[in-house]
Amino acid sequence: MDRPETAAADKPSAAARVRTLRRWRMPDRGTFVMAAIILTIGFYLIYPVALILGLSFNTNPHFFIGERSWGLENWRVAFAEPKIPVALWNTVWLWGISVLVSIPLSVTVAWLLARSRLPGSRVLELFYWISYVTPGGLIAWIYLLDPQIGIANKLLELLPFIDRGPFNVYSIPGIIFVNVVGGASATSVMILTPIFRNMDSALEEAARMAGAGSLRTMMRVTLPIMVSPIALLFALQLLRMFQSFERELILGTPIGFFVYSTLIFHQVRLYDPPQYGQAVALASLTLVLIAFIIPLQRWILTRRRYTTVSGSFRPGLVDLGRWKWPAFAFVISDHVITVFTLLVLIAGSFMTRIGYFNIDPVFTLLHWKFVLADPLFLTGLRTTLILAMASGILSPLLFALIAYTLVRTRWRFRIVLDGIIWTSGAIPGMLTGLGLLLMFLWTPGLSFLFGSIGALIIVVVLQGNTTGVNLIKGNIVQIGYDMEDASRVSGAGWLRTFFTIWLRLMAPVLVLIGLFNFNIAANTTASIILLASRETTTLSLVILEWLLGIVDRRGPAGVVQIILGSITFFTALGARQLALRLGLRHQ
């Protein structure tokens, strides 16, 4: 027989079930808000994807012209293509090498910059921001390691015992090298440093009081707390590798080296007629990744608490002792390549013919004069500034609202919104641009956006949503509920709490995401190449056109890259100062 108190306890439980059932039948305000968000975001992110996935079953070889015939032929032919397993394998091992090098290096450097008394840590951290936007990269390595005109090869050929320069950037080792040094570590350090900085020093002090040294404290306390952002970084880098495009296209095409994204590009742009249906079938493979990434991320976020910022937050840094200067040398050595490639790019832009020192004159201003007088450059400059500024300002605010909704509310269908965010990042930019093109052309009332600056603004503001939303989610789980509760108790409403408490606490990450999206918008190619017209072309499209053109315009392309990098460089300086002024400080 049940005890009286047990029977009485059952009544509230039954009443609670009734209230739960009633809430399910009667949607609350949050449900309507979530529905509005899903419909709005889903229309621009998922509808274009669904459109091209549906059309992948159209077996008409001209795709858009004539009557449509439906079947599975595109899927059968696409997956029978012998290049597919090779391209997938190339993509996976390139990602593996990049991760094995960049993640351990980035975690170590970010911890040194954020959690230790490293000399000049603020300046060294700034260097990573500069490295991220430095206009070196691909063009500089072409200037340096091209087998015909590479400056390094030409200098070595001056030696009496070398007939031909040994370096060739258009090779598998060259692609690996450029990918590894191409900014992956800089991006990871920029992401992880503010997250490490948001750790309460009391957590590490407790470990040291228990007798653990700095290394053991980092392995047993710091890194387990950072599992969420580090795991997210792995997932984002994998997703980014399946979308990586420019390096592999320019360096791999001459030797027939394909990765997943460049194989899709060739099917869309270089086949006659374009094989849109087969390209979409190939792109669907990334949706399989999402099926694993979303449950894994949600499991990581819910299996334990990652709160490191609360009302009792205690700042503090670790004293490195005798390891201070070796650590300083280790961090600063990572910037040597950045400075070197920048110098090579600048020097190459002033050479009459890159790599040739035996012509007269060796140096000239012709490349700069050509670029500054070219109407296409001026159009690209105007469009690039508009897109980059719109993306840098609007994207962080939009992503912060979405991330807060996903992490801090209990509104229904949050998993649907989370799935939309991840799924939108799974489709390569080339096909996303194709889907948006079809959406603008076929949706009544949207045709006026085709080829306009408005269409490009929509694309660049939303294109970094997977990375931006998930980085902010990782930052939100660090912040305790007591900060928000204190604001509510003081009488502040939801909006005031969000803008006065949350935005201030997340400011460094928001500024970082703003810089990311500014840089992405300024340099994007794949996502807008099908939407931009000659009147709305960007500097990145000008660079790609000149590098792949029949006429050799690598010199002018380098000049445009320097100008584009200078824009993002000065933006990074301003963003960095803003992040330091708004973020948490460790004394």
Q: Reply yes or no on whether the pLDDT at 388 is more than 80.
A: yes
Residue range 402-426, pLDDT digits in tens: 888 888 777 778 888 888 887 777 6
Question: Does residue 4 lie within any of the structural domains?
Answer: no
Judged by average pLDDT, the poorest of 264-278, 352-366, 535-549 is 264-278
Residue 489 CB coordination number (10 Å): 8
477 within some domain: yes
Residue 587 lies in a domain: no
In angstroms, the CA 83 to CA 261 distance is 12
Tell me, what CATH number does 548's domain have?
Answer: 1.10.3720.10
**pLDDT value for 312:** 46
Q: How confident is the model at residue 197, as a pLDDT? A: 75
Q: Is residue 300 part of a domain?
A: yes
Q: Residue 67 carries which DSSP code? A: -
Rounded to whole angstroms, how far apart are CA atoms 297 and 227? 10
* CA nearest neighbour of 242 among 95, 82, 137, 102: 95
Given pLDDT bands bounded at 50, 70 and 90, which one contains residue 306? very low
What number is the average pLDDT over the span 15-27? 51
pLDDT at 2 (0 to 100): 43
Please report which confidence band the pLDDT of residue 324 belongs to, taking 50, 70 and 90 as the band edges. confident
Is the residue at 7 inside a domain?
no
Q: What is the pLDDT of residue 146?
A: 85
Q: What average pLDDT does this structure show over 27-43?
A: 78
Owning domain of residue 51? 29-582
Q: Does the pLDDT value for residue 145 go beyond 70?
A: yes
Confidence tier at 440 by pLDDT (50, 70, 90) = confident
What integer is the mean pLDDT of 538-547?
85
Q: What is the mean pLDDT of residues 566-583?
A: 73
Higher-scoring residue by pLDDT: 489, 39: 39
Read off the pLDDT band of 310 (50, 70, 90).
very low
Give a yes or no: residue 256 inside a domain.
yes
For residue 305, pLDDT beyond 60: no
**Position 132 pLDDT exceeds 70:** yes
The answer to whether the CB of 131 falls within 8 A of the CB of 151 is: no
pLDDT band at 262 (very low <50, low <70, confident <90, very high): confident
The terminus-to-terminus CA distance of the chain in angstroms comes to 63
Query: What residues contact 26, with CB distance under 8 A and at least 6 apart?
Result: none
Distance between CA atoms of 507 and 476, rounded to whole angstroms?
11
Helix (H, G, I), strand (E, B) or coil at 363: strand
Cα 558 from chain centre: 23
What is the domain count for the chain? 1
Q: CB-hemisphere CA count at 13 Å for 106? A: 28
Question: At which residue do the structure tokens 């692609």 appear?
Answer: 175
| Residue 17, in any domain of the structure | no
Q: What is the pLDDT of residue 382?
A: 92
- Tell me what pLDDT residue 278 has: 73
What global pTM score does this model have? 0.68
Chain CA centroid to CA 283, Å: 18
397 within domain boundaries: yes
Tokens 């994807």, residue located? 49
pLDDT digits (tens, 9 = 90+) for 172-207: 888 888 877 765 677 778 778 877 776 666 666 666
Mean pLDDT, residues 376-381: 91
Cβ-based neighbours of 173, under 8 Å, separated by 6 or more:
none
How far lies 533's CA from each of 376, 437, 528, 538, 560, in Å? 11, 12, 10, 9, 19
pLDDT in tens, 80-120: 777 778 888 888 888 788 778 778 888 888 888 887 888 88
- Reading the block at residue 380, the tokens are 């690209």
The pLDDT of residue 67 is: 73
Name the pLDDT band for 381 (thresholds 50, 70, 90).
very high
pLDDT at 383: 92
81, 163 in Cβ contact below 8 A?
A: no
119's tokens: 């000399």
Beta bridge partners of 351: 363
Q: What is the mean pLDDT of the chain?
A: 75
